[in-house]
């Protein structure tokens, strides 16, 4: 299994919150509700791609809240950009400078922000937005 935008679980359609911006907060809430009602198993929601987990451990930005599944303080945010001039497996964005560079790039790319728990592998797309040309 290769790592790509499809590896970043959305589990639903996000809501447009601006041109090229999609917010997945409601999808996240719905997923957690389904999990609490027993309609989704822990295996369904804690299935982060190994590449995503690796990025979360190495460069993940710690979140102030605990993991909604295992309640450990191991929740992190990871940003990946995918685009024509970027590697097929995306580029992990770790600094504001990298983000600014992509914003100024003549080619369009899409940045995906994913919430990942490094303890139980819970993962959920939080938002996505376009960078480059059109923004």
- Chain residues in the site for Zn ion (CB under 5 A): 67, 69-70, 117, 119-120, 122
Q: Provide CB contacts within 8 A for 114, sequence distance 6+.
A: 8, 9, 52, 77, 78, 79, 80, 123, 124, 125, 126
Residue 81 · residue 91 · CB < 8 Å: yes
d(Cα 84, Cα 110) in Å, to the nearest integer?
10
| CA distances, 56 to each of 33, 101, 104, 134 (Å) | 24, 22, 26, 29
| Residue among 68 and 83 whose Cβ is closer to Zn ion | 68
Tokens of 53: 């987990």
| Residue among 70 and 105 whose Cβ is closer to Zn ion | 70
Short-list 100, 48, 109, 47, CA closest to 78 = 48
> Closest separation between CB of residue 58 and Zn ion, Å?
17
| Residue among 59 and 70 whose Cβ is closer to Zn ion | 70
> Closest separation between CB of residue 117 and Zn ion, Å?
3
> Closest separation between CB of residue 133 and Zn ion, Å?
37
Tokens of 95: 């600094």
> Closest separation between CB of residue 60 and Zn ion, Å?
12
| Residue among 93 and 117 whose Cβ is closer to Zn ion | 117
């Amino acid at each position: 299994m290769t790592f790509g935008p499809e590896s970043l679980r959305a589990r639903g359609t996000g809501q447009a919150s601006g041109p090229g911006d999609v917010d997945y907060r409601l999808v996240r809430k719905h997923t957690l509700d389904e999990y609490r009602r027993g309609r989704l198993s822990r295996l369904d929601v804690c299935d982060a791609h190994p590449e995503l987990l690796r990025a979360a451990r190495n460069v993940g930005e710690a979140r102030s809240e605990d993991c909604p599944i295992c309640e450990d303080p191991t929740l992190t945010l990871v940003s990946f950009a995918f685009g024509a001039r970027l590697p097929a497996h995306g580029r992990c964005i770790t600094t504001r400078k990298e983000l600014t560079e992509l914003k100024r790039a003549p080619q369009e790319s899409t940045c995906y922000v994913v919430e990942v728990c490094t303890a139980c592998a819970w993962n959920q797309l939080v938002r996505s937005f376009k960078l480059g040309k059109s923004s």
